[in-house]
């Protein structure tokens, strides 16, 4: 019997991982992903079939916007039946935002979508790009009896695969650039790939759903000592905003300044959806734990529990773009849709 070989599609959106130095002027430029295996001969050793496509105009991840998330989802939708897994190459700066968004925009796929990138270009002598790319493909190709082991959106960097919507970038200079403070790694790469099967996500959806409507009219307000009242007003009461995500202190606290609570009440009266998460790297908000809890004073504000800011923003954009009624939106906000939060 012929051994099963997974078919993996590598999608290059841009970023450092796809750069090589021009031998003439030393400038960084994207390499030709049509000849991916030729560029990285080690890929021939992997027991899978690899194809690759690229954004028409690869971009620095700082320029990645929600419309580009939709472009990526469209690529996945067109190709989802032809491949067993996908690897998305992406700049690291906004990778957690895009990867988190994809976890909400592509649900029920039952195949891996693995994001990776690098801190150094693929042509650099000390690059982390080759290991990240090779192992990301290997993880995407993991299967048992032809069924993918990973069936969710993951982010692989420096020997660890994390659930994408649990990640945040923590370093601009170290190879271990990402962390997942509230959820363990799904796979750890050592001498062998060690899969933490008990933490893997399995969707209850019978068929894949591709969400391509987003509402990015979402504001972000990070609380800090000495905030000008005018700044808070400009965010909470910005015309046309559908929602504001508040990064509260610690376990969900906010100053008890009367002017702040008055502005919050004004925003709520204008039917602006207000949600909050902690601005701490780990942990989450504990509703009504302190008298300064923002929900103690304003129970209408939705708790983000242990959501990362990246996941919370993406989830809001997807839910608002779904144009569901407010009660259903509030219910889905509080529900773990793809393992993004602890219930």
Sequence-separated (6 or more) residues with CB below 8 Å from residue 265: 298
168 tagged catalytic: no
DSSP-based three-state secondary structure for 282: coil
Contact 248, 279 (CB under 8 A): yes
Which of 16, 116, 127, 135 is catalytic? The answer is 16
User: At which residue do the structure tokens 């997974």 appear?
Assistant: 6
Instruction: Tell me the two tokens of residue 192.
Output: 């062998």
Q: What's phi and psi for 175, nearest 5 deg?
A: -65, -35
Question: Which of 325, 288, 333 lies closest to 307, judged by CA?
Answer: 333
CA 66 to centroid of chain Cα atoms: 12
Q: What Cα–Cα distance (Å) separates residue 40 from each residue in 21, 123, 131, 289?
A: 15, 10, 11, 53
Sequence-separated (6 or more) residues with CB below 8 Å from residue 262: none
| Residues with active-site annotation | 16
């Amino acid at each position: 019997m012929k051994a099963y070989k997974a078919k993996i599609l590598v999608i290059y959106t841009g970023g450092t991982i796809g750069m090589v130095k021009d031998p003439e002027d030393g400038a960084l430029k994207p390499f030709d992903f049509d000849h991916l295996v030729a560029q990285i001969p080690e890929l021939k050793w992997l027991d899978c079939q690899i194809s690759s496509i690229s954004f028409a105009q690869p971009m620095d991840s700082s320029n990645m916007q929600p419309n580009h998330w939709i472009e990526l989802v469209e690529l996945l939708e067109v190709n989802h039946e032809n491949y067993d897994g996908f690897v998305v190459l992406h700049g690291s700066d906004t990778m957690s935002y895009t990867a988190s968004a994809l976890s909400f925009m592509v649900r029920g796929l039952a195949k891996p979508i693995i994001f990776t990138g690098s801190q150094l270009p693929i042509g650099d002598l000390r690059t982390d790009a080759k290991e990240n790319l090779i192992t990301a493909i290997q993880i995407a190709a993991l299967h048992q009896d032809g069924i993918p082991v990973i069936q969710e959106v993951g982010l692989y960097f420096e020997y660890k695969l994390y659930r994408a919507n649990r990640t945040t970038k923590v370093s601009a200079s170290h190879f271990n650039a990402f962390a997942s403070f509230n959820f363990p790694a799904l796979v750890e790469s050592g001498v062998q790939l060690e899969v933490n099967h008990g933490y893997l996500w399995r969707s209850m959806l019978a068929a894949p759903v591709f969400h391509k409507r987003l509402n990015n009219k979402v504001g972000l307000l990070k609380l800090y000592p000495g905030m000008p009242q005018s700044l808070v007003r400009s965010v909470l009461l910005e015309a046309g905003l559908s929602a504001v995500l508040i990064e509260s202190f610690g376990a969900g606290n906010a100053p008890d300044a009367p002017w702040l609570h008055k502005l919050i009440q004004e925003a709520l009266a204008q039917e602006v959806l207000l949600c909050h998460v902690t601005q701490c790297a780990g942990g989450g908000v504990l509703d009504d734990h302190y008298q300064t809890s923002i929900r103690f004073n304003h129970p209408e504000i939705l708790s983000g529990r242990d959501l990362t800011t990246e996941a919370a923003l993406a989830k809001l954009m997807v839910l608002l773009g779904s144009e569901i009624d407010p009660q259903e939106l509030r219910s889905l906000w509080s529900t773990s849709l793809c393992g993004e939060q602890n219930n």
